[in-house]
Amino acid sequence: MKRTAHTVSAEEMKRQHAFTEEIRTLPQRPETYYVVTYGCQMNAHDSEKLAGMLREMGMTEAKAKDEADFVIFNTCCIRENAERRALGNITWLREVRKKNPGLMIAVCGCMIQEPGMAEKILKQYGFINLAFGTSNLYRFPELLYRALNTDQSTVIVEECDVVPEGLPILRARKESAYLTIMYGCNNYCSYCIVPYVRGRERSREPAAILREAEDLLNSGVREIMLLGQNVNSYGKDLPEGKSFAGLLKELDRMGIPRIRFMTSHPKDLSDELIDAMAGSVHILPQFHLPVQSGSDRILEAMNRHYTRRQYLDRVRRLRDAVPGIGLSTDIIVGFPGETEEDFLQTMELVREVGYDSAFTFIYSPRTGTRAASLPDQIIPETATERIQRLISLQETLQQTTMSRFIGMEEEILTEGFSRRSSEAVSGKGRHGISVTVPGSAKDIGKIVKCRITGLKNNTLTAERIE
């Protein structure tokens, strides 16, 4: 297979595997582990890789973090809240160690990759055994081996933009699987720390992705979620100049029942990609297209590289090509300098698009990003008042947009019992919306055909038609 400059060599992966084997035989290695995950799907999938490596080292998962011999915090730094929660939990574990002196603690993920964080960890959290950044995930066996053989904290943060292949993965669900297609981000949106902690964009080789997808299909997976910070720009760094649309077409031909992807940047949403969706059988008719603001002035300050008009044009194009498509978005309220007029433009855009769901956030400054030093930071009271208006608008609109599904046939991939009834199961429909349908334990993890009959608390209810 032709390798990109970023792919970690097979020799290096073998070297890491040798550390895994060494750890298996160490008398002082932990018996049980627990991984605490914060943040997005990328992090959840990284935790599946950590669990896969730990299992190969001979460890089993503990039921709770205070019952484990080894606890790993896979952290997120997108919002200050997540960071504070992680640090609070890590400090609490120090108390647990008083009862269990052998307890090992590791911290990894985006937070560790933040500038200055490694030094802070060494100084303030010296009781941590091991800390490593996102780029070092594939070196986990080597780093753990080192940590098991020293009394000092092992802290490694390298800025290496790599693509590891062949890591073992212990997947959380059998029927639905994450599949990373690329790492990093080149966009530098002015409020976002991701490019600083996850590095530059680098795509996996198409052959490696297709092989993994095929293995998943053969193992009975019904749905794959393709992951990347900006999947729309997949392949731009590959020598062959592969595109995301091309990759989707190949995956569609493979016959995996359901294919989803996340996340997309509107500026890279090409006509080719929209046409690939329109002509596909297995790519689900849903699109998460973060808009962030409806004001051109704020979009420019956010460094988003599209205007309100361009965004709306993409939405129109998507709806023309894939009728009835499910649309969701992310919106930031209270970005520095956002006036009432800017905010009203966001409200207007939300009205115009009519999203099926919207993830709304109050802007939170992240040290190291451009927006953190912008003047005119919005006071919390104003931001809170605005987000409440936005949430209330979205909730009202959602009732109408979601009602369009009533009477329609849908297929849901059930995830578990409904929260409200033990005689109903729920999961996501093809359009990305939660649906509850009568069912039992034997339906969980299966695709169930149904007809939508009603809408309750932003969840669609349905009857079975099989």
Q: Degrees (nearest 5) of the Cα angle 391, 397, 400?
A: 150
Q: Closest CB to ligand SF4 among 58 and 195?
A: 195
Least distance between ligand SF4 and beta carbon 128 (Å): 27
Q: Which amino acid type is present at position 153?
A: S
Quote the least distance from Cβ 192 to ligand SF4, whole Å: 3
Minimum gap (Å) between residue 306 Cβ and ligand SF4 = 11
* CB of 127 or CB of 188, closer to ligand SF4: 188
Min CB(329)–ligand SF4 separation in Å:
13
Member of 192, 350, 353, 425 binding ligand SF4 (CB under 6 A): 192
By C-beta, is 75 or 187 nearer to ligand SF4? 187
Footprint on residues 265-324 left by ligand SF4 (CB under 6 A):
265
Site for ligand SF4 (CB under 6 A): which residue of 7, 43, 134, 229? 229
What's the rounded Cα separation, in Å, for the pair 442 and 318?
Answer: 36
Shortest Å distance, C-beta 196 to ligand SF4: 9
What's the closest the beta carbon of residue 386 comes to ligand SF4, in angstroms? 20
Q: CB of 335: closest distance to ligand SF4 in angstroms? A: 12
Joined together, the tokens standing for residue 260 give: 């989803």
Query: Tokens 């896979």 correspond to what residue?
Result: 74
Q: Which of 52, 168, 195, 337 binds ligand SF4 (CB under 6 A)?
A: 195
Size of the site for ligand SF4 (CB under 6 A): 10
**Nearer Cβ to ligand SF4, position 195 or 368?**
195
Q: Does 230 bind ligand SF4 (CB under 6 A)?
A: yes
Helix axes 10-25, 41-56, angle to 10 degrees: 60
Q: In terms of CB distance, is 282 or 370 closer to ligand SF4?
A: 370
Residue closer to ligand SF4 (CB basis): 297 or 370? 370
User: In this complex, which beta carbon is closest to ligand SF4, that of residue 171 or of residue 267?
Assistant: 267
The footprint of ligand SF4 on residues 132-191 (CB under 6 A) is: 185, 187-189
Q: Does 127 contact ligand SF4 by CB under 6 A? A: no
Binding site for ligand SF4 (CB under 6 A): 185, 187-189, 192, 194-195, 229-230, 265
